Amino acid sequence: MTATRVLLTDAVHRLEAAGVASPEYDARELLAHVLGTTRAGLVLVEDVGDGHAEQFAELLARRAAREPLQHLTGTAAFRHVELAVGPGVFVPRPETELLAGWGVDRAREVAVSGRTPVVVDLCTGSGAMALSLATEVPAAEVHAVELDEAAHSWAARNLEGSGVDLRHGDMAEAFHDLDGTVDVVVCNPPYIPLEAFESVAAEARDHDPSLALWSGEDGLDAMRVLERVARRLLRPGGVVGAEHADVQGESAPAVFAESGRWSDVRDNRDLAGRPRYVTARLAR
Ligand SMILES: C[S@@+](CC[C@H](N)C(=O)[O-])C[C@H]1O[C@@H](n2cnc3c(N)ncnc32)[C@H](O)[C@@H]1O
C-alpha cells in the first residue's frame, strides 16, 4: 500500500520533469482511470494497493514519454459527449468546442424557422463535432466525411447509433448529392504550416496522424479546398465555420474574402483571446 498523496506528489514531479504541460491534472486523471473513479473521487482514496500502483506507474512512464493522456485513458471529453480515441485518430481539442458550439447555434436557428437543418462536418476525425451537432440539435440531419481509413474507423465507432451519415473519402469530392442544399458547414481541417514542425508539442507531432496536422507551406492548403467545397454544398445564405491556427487570423478569412462569393466574413477568437475560427455566409 502507498499513500495516495505520496503517489500523486511523486507522479506530478515526474511529469513536470518530462515537460508535460498539465502535470497535476494528468497525474490525477491517470490515477482515477486506474482506480475506476473520477478526479474528484480521489479525495476519498487514502491508500493505493500495489497492483494499482504498478498499473499507475506504467501509465505514468508512457505519459512521461509524451503519449497523449487521452490515448492512455482511451477517451476524450468534448462538449457534452465522450469520444473513444487512440492511435490513428486526432484527439479532439477543447478549442474546437467553440466552433462546434457556433455550428449548434446556427443549426438551431434553422430548426426554429421550421426547416430541418442540414449540417456537414468535413474532416470529422473522431466524429467529435458531428456527434455534438447530432446530440445537441436532434432535429438536424448531420453528415460527416473523413479521408483517413483509421480515423474513419474511430468515427464509425463513435457515431454508431447517432444517426449521422458518415462517409469515407476526400472532402474535395464529398457529398455531391447535397450540392446547394446544406445550411451549415463546419470543419477543423489540418492547418499547421510544414515549417512549424519544431514548434508542435511532442504529443501532437508524434501521435496525431500527419494527415490531421500538416497542410502545405502556409498551412492553408486544406482551407482553400474547404472554401470551394463549402461554396458548392451550401444553399445561398448558408454558413461555414472553419478552425485555423492562431497565426492565421488574417490569412484564413482572406481565403474566403478573395473568392468574392461570401458575405459576413469574420474571424472569431477563443476564450484566451486568440484568433481561432473563420465564419462566412454564402452570398445570396
Ligand atoms: C485537425 S483534424 C480534426 C478532426 C476533428 N474534426 C476534430 O476537430 O477533432 C483534421 C482531420 O481531417 C482529416 N482530413 C485531412 N484531409 C482530408 C480530406 N481531404 N478530406 C477529408 N478528411 C481529411 C484528417 O485525417 C483528420 O482526421
Residues in the chain: 284
pLDDT(101) > 90:
yes
Q: Report the distance separating Cα 197 and Cα 205, nearest Å.
A: 8
Closest-CA residue, ligand 1 atom 7, reads 92
Determine the distance from the C-alpha atom of residue 151 to the mean position of all C-alpha atoms in its chain, rounded to a whole number: 12
Kindly state the cell numbers that stand for 264.
Answer: 459576413
The per-residue pLDDT for range 243-272, each reduced to its tens digit, is 999 999 999 999 999 999 999 999 999 989
Q: Report the distance separating Cα 121 and Cα 188, nearest Å.
A: 8
Instruction: Report whether residue 91 contacts ligand 1, using a CB cutoff of 6 Å.
Output: no
Give me the helices (H) in the chain, please.
4-17, 23-35, 50-64, 69-73, 96-112, 128-136, 149-159, 202-207, 221-233, 251-259
- 244 CA distance to ligand 1 centroid (A)? 12
Q: To the nearest whole number, what is the mean pLDDT of the chain?
A: 96
Under 8 Å between Cβ of 171 and 229: yes
Q: Report the distance separating Cα 136 and Cα 169, nearest Å.
A: 26
The mean pLDDT value for 273-279 works out to: 97
Q: Report the distance separating Cα 110 and Cα 209, nearest Å.
A: 35
pLDDT(35) > 90:
yes
Which residues make Cβ contacts (< 8 Å) with residue 139, sequence separation at least 6? Answer: 111, 116, 117
What's the Cα-to-Cα distance from 26 to each of 4, 15, 37, 125, 241, rounded to whole Å? 15, 8, 14, 23, 31
What pLDDT shows up at residue 267? Answer: 98
What pLDDT shows up at residue 25? Answer: 97
| CA dihedral over 200, 206, 210, 213, signed as positive or negative | negative
Q: Report the distance separating Cα 274 and Cα 218, nearest Å.
A: 18
Instruction: Report whether residue 253 contacts ligand 1, using a CB cutoff of 6 Å.
Output: no
Q: φ, ψ for residue 276 (rounded to 5)? A: -130, -40
pLDDT tier at 194, thresholds 50, 70, 90: confident
Q: Report the distance separating Cα 37 and Cα 183, nearest Å.
A: 41
pLDDT(163) > 90:
yes
> Cβ–Cβ contacts within 10 Å for residue 140, how many?
25
Instruction: Report whether residue 150 contacts ligand 1, using a CB cutoff of 6 Å.
Output: no
The owner of cell 487570423 is 249
Determine the distance from the C-alpha atom of residue 119 to the mean position of all C-alpha atoms in its chain, rounded to a whole number: 17
Under 8 Å between Cβ of 137 and 170: no
Q: φ, ψ for residue 167 (rounded to 5)? A: -125, 160
DSSP 91: P
Instruction: Report whether residue 70 contacts ligand 1, using a CB cutoff of 6 Å.
Output: no
The per-residue pLDDT for range 112-154, each reduced to its tens digit, is 999 999 999 999 999 999 999 999 999 999 999 999 999 999 9
Q: Which atom of ligand 1 is nearest to 121's Cα?
A: 6
The per-residue pLDDT for range 6-30, each reduced to its tens digit, is 999 999 999 999 999 999 999 999 9
Q: φ, ψ for residue 68 (rounded to 5)? A: -60, 140
Q: Report the distance separating Cα 109 and Cα 46, nearest Å.
A: 50
pLDDT(95) > 90:
yes
Strand partners, 250: none
- 222 CA distance to ligand 1 centroid (A)? 9
What pLDDT shows up at residue 155? Answer: 98
- What's the whole-model pTM score? 0.94
